[in-house]
Amino acid sequence: MLRKHDLGGTLLLALLGIAILVVPVLNLALPESSWLHLSTYTVTLLGKYLTYGLLAIALDLIWGYCGIMSLGHSAFFALGGYAMGMYLMRAIGPRGVYGDPVLPDFMVFLNWKELPWYWYGFDQFWFALLMVMLVPGLLALVFGWLAFRSRVTGVYLSIITQALTYALMLAFFRNDMGFGGNNGLTDFKTLLGFDVHADSTRAGLFVVSALALALGYV
């Protein structure tokens, strides 16, 4: 007999499997006049929910299983998002508003003359994917080593993780950091050559998000 935890996990994986098969069909195969049709906006929203579910699983792992209450998990999540966003900005190329083949639009607007060194390599998808994992992992390694070496635990550790998130937010909001300031990274065009605004691309990203959530749970 399945335990309650195993039953819940099996149900989650089953629902994700059904969603992978059904959602793209309802979005791409059915006409917009059908009451079963799912709009691209809804598919995109569901995809966002799945990525936030992956964040929740990560928080459950460190808080629920390890007993470490982290209030700064969004910082690591955001760093991975920025790494992929940098690739998407480099993929725009000369199709930006200002037509610069190298500099993103916000850098041209802010009168930057050259690409910062930490943007190098992000014109390659494999490099961006590697940084999605390495950058948050490196920050977690350094932060964890310093915190546990100093024997910081309990509510004090939670406050420090929240302070870390706030400090990163203030840093990334600065225009001279080279990450788009409080406007962030916007106006993406393509991902691996696929139009990110196309219905089929949004449906594909939903499927990838569902698979990532299933893999993260397993």
Tell me which residue of 175, 208, 169 sits closest to 84, measured CA to CA: 208
CA 169 and chain centroid, separation: 16
pLDDT in tens, 93-129: 899 888 889 999 999 999 999 999 999 999 999 999 9
Euclidean distance between CA atoms 83 and 136, whole angstroms? 10
State the helix-helix crossing angle for 73-92 and 154-172, rounded to 10 degrees.
20
What the block records as the tokens of 58 is 């990560």
What pLDDT shows up at residue 52?
93
Q: Is the pLDDT of residue 80 over 90?
A: yes
Euclidean distance between CA atoms 133 and 109, whole angstroms? 30
Q: Is the pLDDT of residue 81 over 60?
A: yes
Residues in the chain: 218
pTM of the predicted structure, to 2 decimals? 0.85
What the block records as the tokens of 78 is 């955001």
Give yes or no for a contact between 201 and 192, defined as CB atoms under 8 angstroms apart. Answer: no
Alpha carbon separation from 1 to 7, 10, 12, 41 (Å, rounded): 9, 13, 18, 40
Q: How confident is the model at residue 208 (pLDDT cuts 50, 70, 90)?
A: very high
pLDDT in tens, 58-72: 888 888 888 888 888
Alpha carbon separation from 45 to 23, 51, 143 (Å, rounded): 12, 10, 32
Q: Is the pLDDT of residue 2 over 60?
A: no
Report the sign of the C-alpha dihedral through residues 110, 115, 117, 123, in that order. Answer: positive
194 phi, psi to nearest 5 deg? -95, 135
How many C-beta atoms lie closer than 10 Å to residue 137's C-beta? 14
